């Protein structure tokens, strides 16, 4: 007789086993040849090895379903515990294009061609730049990829960072201590995480450091191993800050850098490190640049029109910046 002990992770044992162990009794009826005992966060199953291996494989699918959809019933239990599975031990109920199943079963996917390029790029490279206008899903897709990597145990932690640069506001006059002053700048990252993780799990991850959200200046001097790291709003980082951040990469880490070069809030005498990084790093092996555009906008349809209108208005200005950098490069080479 073989024995397996399964640890219940990422889901509530009460939700998994049901009120009064209703779900657990259904599971036991579906596997009458096994002796199944549940105690706290552990489930012990004993019996013939072949039957036991099949049970463990299917029970793990059941936990994944509950984690992703937040609910299950007797029909779902029967589908997953005794229904057909494919050659990869996956049930057809799971959509392979879904990056993360968020709160309430929210399915988070790459919706556009360039968002899908981001997904492919991070699978093939350790560092990806995603550059495009507001509303193209750069940050949201990046955070979904990070959460997926954490859930799949591909990384041990997620680190999300942004430059603390004011878009017309004065940071020094905001009320509160430094954390309270900086939190508004990090809000889009919190918003994305709240869509993708249960509230209590998110709070636990934030408290124990599994997920860290910090301003870019706090990255100096660190080595980020086994981490999925996202630099958001990178257009507001200077070149020295970009160099500092990019060289934080440690072992078994993934970096995604997102930004919108049409919304640079740096003082006029400072150049965007994101713009310069495109010129410096575009031929470096292991780094891929994905450029998103108005076709990738997933917000209100007016956002697409607004982006096009501003692009038309700013069109004469943009080439001057590029031409200037090209001339400087030519002068340097000569």
- pLDDT by residue (tens digit) across 131-148? 998 889 999 999 999 999
The answer to whether residues 156 and 72 belong to one domain is no
The answer to whether residues 84 and 171 belong to one domain is no
Cα distance between residue 182 and residue 186, in whole Å: 7
The answer to whether residues 62 and 201 belong to one domain is no
Which of 44, 65, 94 is at the close of a domain? 94
101 phi/psi in degrees, rounded to 5: -95, 110
Output the domain CATH number for residue 199. 3.40.50.300
The answer to whether residues 124 and 218 belong to one domain is yes
The answer to whether residues 56 and 126 belong to one domain is no
Is 333 inside any structural domain? Answer: no
The model's pLDDT over 232-289, given as tens digits with 9 standing for 90+, comes to: 999 999 999 999 999 999 999 999 999 999 889 888 888 999 999 999 999 999 999 9
Cα angle 213, 141, 159; round to 5 = 20
The answer to whether residues 221 and 131 belong to one domain is yes
pTM over the 0.85 mark: no
Is 334 inside any structural domain? Answer: no
| 84 contacts 106 by C-beta, under 8 angstroms | no
Is 283 inside any structural domain? Answer: yes
The answer to whether residues 193 and 138 belong to one domain is yes
Is 85 inside any structural domain? Answer: yes
Is 72 inside any structural domain? Answer: yes
Domain that holds residue 87: 2-94
């Amino acid at each position: 007789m073989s024995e397996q002990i399964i640890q219940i992770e990422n889901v509530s044992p009460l939700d998994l086993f049901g009120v009064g162990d209703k779900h657990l009794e259904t599971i036991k009826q579906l596997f009458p040849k096994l002796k199944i005992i549940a105690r706290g966060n552990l489930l012990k199953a004993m019996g013939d090895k072949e039957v036991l291996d099949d049970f463990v494989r299917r029970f793990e699918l059941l936990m994944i379903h509950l984690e992703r959809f937040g609910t299950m019933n007797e029909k779902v239990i029967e589908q997953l515990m005794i229904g057909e599975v494919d050659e990869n031990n996956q049930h057809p109920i799971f959509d392979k294009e879904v990056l993360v199943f968020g709160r309430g079963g929210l399915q988070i996917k790459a919706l556009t061609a360039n968002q899908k390029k981001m997904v492919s790029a991070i699978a093939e490279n350790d560092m990806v730049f995603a550059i495009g206008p507001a509303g193209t899903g750069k940050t949201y897709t990046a955070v979904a990829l990070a959460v997926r990597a954490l859930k799949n145990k591909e990384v041990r932690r997620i680190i999300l960072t942004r430059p603390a640069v004011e878009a017309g506001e004065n940071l020094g006059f905001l009320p509160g201590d430094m954390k309270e002053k900086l939190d508004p700048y990090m809000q889009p990252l919190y918003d994305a995480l709240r869509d993708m993780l249960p509230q209590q799990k998110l709070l636990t991850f934030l408290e124990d450091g599994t997920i860290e959200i910090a301003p870019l200046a706090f990255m100096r001097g660190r080595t980020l191993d086994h981490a999925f790291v996202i630099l958001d709003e990178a257009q507001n980082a200077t070149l020295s800050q970009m160099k500092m951040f990019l060289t934080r990469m440690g072992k078994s880490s993934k970096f995604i850098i997102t930004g919108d070069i049409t919304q640079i809030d740096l003082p006029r005498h400072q150049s965007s490190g994101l713009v310069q990084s495109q010129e410096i790093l575009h031929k470096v092996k292991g780094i891929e640049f994905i450029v998103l555009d108005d076709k990738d906008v997933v917000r209100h349809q007016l956002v697409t029109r607004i982006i096009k209108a501003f692009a038309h208005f700013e069109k004469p200005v943009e080439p001057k910046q590029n031409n200037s950098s090209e001339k400087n490069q030519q002068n340097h080479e000569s």
